[in-house]
Amino acid sequence: MTENKASIRWSINVISFFLFSVLTLTGLINWLLLPRGYGAEKGLLISMRHFLRQVHEWTALLFIVAVVAHLALHVSYIKSNLKKFGILK
């Protein structure tokens, strides 16, 4: 494997970890800390909830793209293992 390919794989892994961390953080804050429903008062916390939800959704989309890129970089490894186990001929 060339050094350039290894650095691209490492970058994708770091980006994926960062995006997963943001997903986890925004999801937990929305789920556990911020008020929800009709009974919640209007104000900064509700605005923060909607903002974090948007961040969570866009981060999820970027995370999916990073996972697809990760799988694309490892397609030869995946194919060789599928052949080894007789799933792919």
Tell me the per-residue pLDDT of 17-61, one tens digit each, with 9 for 90 and over.
999 999 999 999 999 988 777 656 667 777 888 899 999 999 999
Q: Are 74 and 81 in contact (CB under 8 A)?
A: no
The predicted structure's pLDDT at residue 44: 79
pLDDT of the residue at 1: 62
In this predicted structure, what is the pLDDT of residue 39? Answer: 57
Give the lowest-confidence range in 20-24, 52-56, 69-73, 81-85: 81-85
Answer whether 68's CB lies under 8 Å from 19's CB.
no
pTM: 0.84
Give the tokens for residue 43.
């104000």
* pLDDT of 36: 76
